[in-house]
Amino acid sequence: MPIKKVMKANEAAAWAAKLAKPKVIAAFPITPSTLVPEKISEFVANGELDAEFVKVESEHSAISACVGASAAGVRTFTATASQGLALMHEILFIAAGMRLPIVIAIGNRALSAPINIWNDWQDTISERDTGWLQFYAENNQEALDLILIAFKVAEDERVLLPAMVGFDAFILTHTVEPVEIPDQELVDEFLGEYVPKHAYLDPAKPITQGALGFPAHYMEARYGVWEANEAAKKVIDEAFAEFEKRFGRKYQKIEEYRTEDADIIFVTMGSLAGTLKEYVDHLREKGLKVGAAKITVYRPFPVEEVRELAKKAKVLALLEKNVTFSVGGALFQDFSRALINESEKPKIVDFILGLGGRDVTFKDLDEALAIAQKALNGEKVEEVNWIGLRKEIL
Amino acid sequence: MAVRKPPVTTREYWAPGHAACAGCGCATALRLATKAFSEVMEEKYGDPDAFAIAHATGCMEVVSAVFPYTAWKAPWIHVAFENAAAVASGIEAAWKKLGKKGKILAIGGDGGTADIGMQALSGMLERWHNVVYLMYDNEAYMNTGIQRSSSTPYGAWTTTSPPGKYSIGEDKPKKWVALIAAAHQIPYVATASIGNPFDFIRKMKKAAKVDGPAFVQVQCTCPTGWKSPLEKGVEIARLAIETGVWPLFEIENGDIWNIKIQAPGGGAKVKRKDGRVVAIEFKKPIEEYLKLQGRFKHLFKQPEAIDQLREQIKTMWKALGVEVTLPKPGE
């Protein structure tokens, strides 16, 4: 029987790692994710997880050790955030290019400067071009579940790409919620043992990994990562369906909430989706035709699902905790790509908010709604809007 | 008739067909190192092939693994420039969990070890991974076209330490990475040279036998970067030993106060006390080593720079606990 425990998202991530039974974990402490390796080292110390815990001297070495371990043929896990993920940046490309199914848990945190330990998504968003799969959790249960699903998809032979699962700093990493811990046997059945097909350092069968790719071959390797990302779309759907069958919790690349007959659909990721659902309920009570959508899978970007979503609304209002300079938020760019050649498309208005852990309140959402309503009424509005800015201190 | 056993196995792990330059001393070093390594694997695990290699970006990496070819007859991985030691840590952890018998050999050049890879190396040594780290030291960034590294010796020409009106070439003394490694008090640290292949093979075997981390720094010649005759690699490397430029030593069991010096040869007089080398009187001036290399050519117009190098070499030997006499030409 699955048990329910009250825990932080960091603990949920550690539990997911325990259930997935990685053989090597290499990690370096960083706020807000420190509890993940702490908890895992406890599991290892108590013999609850039979793994090697490599206490590396930096995040760069954490991911490098994970690459070594994964290339040696074992399931591998780590956790980090913000500057730590940025320090891994170089190796993230390599892990994807070498097609190693490493999974990282990320406590989504803002990037310096100024140094800031609180939540936004700039860390993982900045890694969106590395080739890694990206999942975003709304709550602690999702943090646990999505890590298991990430392993399942990453290790699928049709994919073989590393994956990161993000959950918001402090809002989730340090906040307790009831989390259902699935049965180990069911997880074992769901994931199976990792049997490497292409990456193993075996003296009995010596292979060369990480060779030099001349112009004659490099592009094909990059295309391989592209293709694997495309293939992951179907594999993710299958993994979600199997997860639901086994554990009863349903996931979708884009989860919709009260989008039926909506004029305006707010779109967001992570924990903000929880706030947003409340907000939509509140607006619906007032008779406003407003819905919400949550992006659970950001890479591969669910282009088809976005197109379906777009058919349902007159205005898509994107709520983003990240900045892509000269563009707006990264979602704005992704939505534009998905919809640019559609004959009929809604207006898209982009909102940047909640950076560096600033609370996103109903008041902020009202501000966004007012702009979205103007767009709905055919008035001209700014494409990119910064919400909740303290203009008085600028 | 008795057949003499070859000094090292005839098995090859570094296969012919790699793309290294003609006369490459580092290629020789890797070939010998893997041979020596495999002998210990056979002895220790009953399987000469029981090892894997993690290789840092560098000239020996790019010349040996040009997709779709490979010069490696051993499981081999390259990830990036600065992280061979960290990658090796991960492999070792994985092998431990898989119950795989064998050992990991990490390889990096002086750039990938003394400079950008120093942190990962320190971490690996400090965490006591069962890995031998081999630093092949050709004393500059040869992969990118001969730029200075912290392992480039004083006075040497490189493309980023060119001699000029206000420069004598590289203006800093060579960084002693073996001593930094030794400061981790690991089981085995050694310097070696392709100029003394028997000593090098012996040290690689010793390193491979250790349970825990070991570090070997092998000086190897680079005709391209050193502007030296292709066929004189071993001769030049031997002169580095015989003139005192390159000391051969071992530090075992973390005992940094007990440095074992290998006798330099070349007519050098070695003075011992309590079985330890305390003084060496070199007979060949360092000029004999320098003059065979174009990278030091300009120094001969500035003899005070050569004297400066001589002083640095003395200081380095002093750190090893040895007083040396380094003659000037004609002395």
Q: Which string of b and e fits A241-252 if b means at least 16 CB within 10 Å?
A: eebeeebeeebb
ipTM of the complex, rounded to two decimals: 0.96
Interatomic CA distance for residues A350 and A336, integer angstroms: 11
Determine the residue type at A76. Answer: T
Looking at residue B28, its pLDDT comes to 97
CA distance to partner chain A, nearest, from residue B69 (Å): 8
Give pLDDT tens digits for A157-211: 999 999 999 999 999 999 999 999 999 999 999 999 999 989 899 999 999 999 9
For residues B199-204, give the mean pLDDT. 98
CA distance to partner chain B, nearest, from residue A62 (Å): 8
| Residue A178 φ then ψ, to 5° | -70, 130
Instruction: Indicate if the pLDDT at residue A1 is higher than 90.
Output: no
Interatomic CA distance for residues B171 and A187, integer angstroms: 61
Asked whether the whole model's pTM tops 0.95, one would answer yes
Pairing between β-strand A76-80 and β-strand A52-54 as defined by DSSP bridges: unpaired
Peptide bond preceding B71 in cis form (omega within 30 of 0): no
Q: Inform me whether the C-beta atom of residue B47 falls under 8 Å from chain A C-beta atoms.
A: yes
Percent of chain A at pLDDT > 90 equals: 99
CA distance to partner chain B, nearest, from residue A149 (Å): 23
3-state secondary structure B25-64: HHHHHHHHHHHHHHHHHHHHHCCCCCEEEEECCCHHHHHH
Instruction: Place B292 in a pLDDT band, splitting at 50, 70 and 90.
Output: very high
Partner residue opposite B90 with nearest CB, options A68, A207, A213: A68
| Residue B238 φ then ψ, to 5° | -70, -40
Tally of helices (H runs) and strands (E runs) in chain A: 12, 16
CA distance to partner chain A, nearest, from residue B59 (Å): 11
Looking at residue B16, its pLDDT comes to 86
Whether the Cβ atoms of residue B292 and residue B240 lie closer than 8 Å to each other: no
What does pLDDT average to over chain B?
A: 97
Q: Which residue of B has its CA nearest to A75?
A: B94
Looking at residue B7, its pLDDT comes to 86
Whether the Cβ atoms of residue B120 and residue A64 lie closer than 8 Å to each other: yes
Q: Which residue of A has its CA nearest to B74?
A: A206
Instruction: Round the CA-based radius of gyration of chain A to a whole number and report it.
Output: 21
Instruction: Indicate if the pLDDT at residue B4 is higher than 90.
Output: no
Torsion, Cα of B19, B48, B125, B178 (10° steps)? -60
Whether the Cβ atoms of residue B112 and residue B58 lie closer than 8 Å to each other: yes
Domains of chain A: 3-247 (3.40.50.970), 256-393 (3.40.50.920)
Q: Which residues of A touch B68 (CB under 8 A)?
A: 211, 217
The position carrying tokens 């057949």 is B3
Of B128, B130, B238, which Cα lies nearest the Cα of B192? B238
Percent of chain A at pLDDT > 70 equals: 100
* A1 exposure class (CB count in 10 Å sphere: 0-12, 13-18, 19+): exposed
Helix (H) or strand (E) holding A26: strand A24-26
User: Do A210 and B67 make contact, defined as CB atoms within 8 angstroms?
Assistant: no
Domains of chain B: 25-263 (3.40.50.970)
User: Do A209 and B52 make contact, defined as CB atoms within 8 angstroms?
Assistant: no
Give pLDDT tens digits for A340-380: 999 999 999 999 999 999 999 999 999 999 999 999 999 99
* Cβ count within 10 A of residue A151: 30
Instruction: Enter the tokens of residue B297.
Output: 């050519």
Q: What residues form DSSP beta bridges with A106?
A: A80, A166
CA distance to partner chain B, nearest, from residue A70 (Å): 8
Give pLDDT tens digits for A358-367: 999 999 999 9
Instruction: Enter the tokens of residue B64.
Output: 């040996």
Interatomic CA distance for residues A336 and B90, integer angstroms: 41
User: Do A23 and B120 make contact, defined as CB atoms within 8 angstroms?
Assistant: no
Partner residue opposite A58 with nearest CB, options B94, B119, B126: B119
CA distance to partner chain B, nearest, from residue A22 (Å): 10
Instruction: Indicate if the pLDDT at residue B1 is higher than 80.
Output: no
CA distance to partner chain A, nearest, from residue B199 (Å): 27
Interatomic CA distance for residues A133 and A130, integer angstroms: 9
Looking at residue B6, its pLDDT comes to 84
- Residues 79-118 (B) with a CB less than 8 A from some CB of A: 79-80, 82-83, 85-98, 100, 102
Looking at residue B3, its pLDDT comes to 82
Range scoring the smallest mean pLDDT among A242-246, A325-329, B192-196, B273-277: B273-277
| Residue B121 φ then ψ, to 5° | -65, -50
The DSSP line for A314-344 is SEEEEEES--BTTTBSHHHHHHHHHHTT-SS
Give pLDDT tens digits for B152-173: 999 999 999 999 999 999 999 9
Instruction: Place A328 in a pLDDT band, splitting at 50, 70 and 90.
Output: very high
- Which of the residues A64, A70, A87, A205 would you substitute to probe the B interface, choosing the one with the greatest number of B C-beta atoms within 10 Å? A64
Whether the Cβ atoms of residue A135 and residue A165 lie closer than 8 Å to each other: yes
Instruction: Place B2 in a pLDDT band, splitting at 50, 70 and 90.
Output: confident
Looking at residue A292, its pLDDT comes to 98
Instruction: Indicate if the pLDDT at residue B17 is higher than 90.
Output: no
Give pLDDT tens digits for B19-45: 999 999 999 999 999 999 999 999 999
Looking at residue A62, its pLDDT comes to 98
For residues A35-62, give the mean pLDDT. 98
- Which of the residues A44, A57, A70, A78 would you substitute to probe the B interface, choosing the one with the greatest number of B C-beta atoms within 10 Å? A57
Instruction: Place B331 in a pLDDT band, splitting at 50, 70 and 90.
Output: confident
Looking at residue B5, its pLDDT comes to 84
Whether the Cβ atoms of residue B234 and residue B273 lie closer than 8 Å to each other: no
Q: Inform me whether the C-beta atom of residue B70 falls under 8 Å from chain A C-beta atoms.
A: yes
Q: Which residue of B has its CA nearest to A57?
A: B123
Give pLDDT tens digits for B54-71: 999 999 999 999 999 999
Q: Which residue of B has its CA nearest to A209?
A: B77
Beta-carbon contacts of B313 under 8 Å, excluding residues fewer than 6 positions away, are B244, B245, B286, B324, B326
Give pLDDT tens digits for B121-140: 999 999 999 999 999 999 99
Q: What residues form DSSP beta bridges with B190?
A: B216, B250
Interatomic CA distance for residues B35 and B74, integer angstroms: 11
Instruction: Enter the tokens of residue A362.
Output: 């109903």
* Cβ count within 10 A of residue A287: 7
Interatomic CA distance for residues A91 and A65, integer angstroms: 10
Determine the residue type at A359. Answer: D
Pairing between β-strand A264-269 and β-strand A76-80 as defined by DSSP bridges: unpaired
- Which of the residues B89, B103, B118 would you substitute to probe the A interface, choosing the one with the greatest number of A C-beta atoms within 10 Å? B89
Instruction: Enter the tokens of residue A72.
Output: 């040696």
Looking at residue B224, its pLDDT comes to 97
CA angle A54, A44, A60 (to 5 degrees): 20
Look at residue B281 and give its three-state secondary structure: strand
Q: Which residue of A has its CA nearest to B13?
A: A206
* B312 exposure class (CB count in 10 Å sphere: 0-12, 13-18, 19+): middle
Give the rounded distance of the alpha carbon of B63 from its chain centre: 18
Instruction: Indicate if the pLDDT at residue B216 is higher than 90.
Output: yes
User: Do A217 and B67 make contact, defined as CB atoms within 8 angstroms?
Assistant: yes
Instruction: Enter the tokens of residue A363.
Output: 């008041």
Q: Which residues of A touch B65 (CB under 8 A)?
A: 208, 210-212
Q: Which residues of B touch A211 (CB under 8 A)?
A: 65-68, 70, 78
Q: What residues form DSSP beta bridges with B132?
A: B105, B214
For residues A64-80, give the mean pLDDT. 98
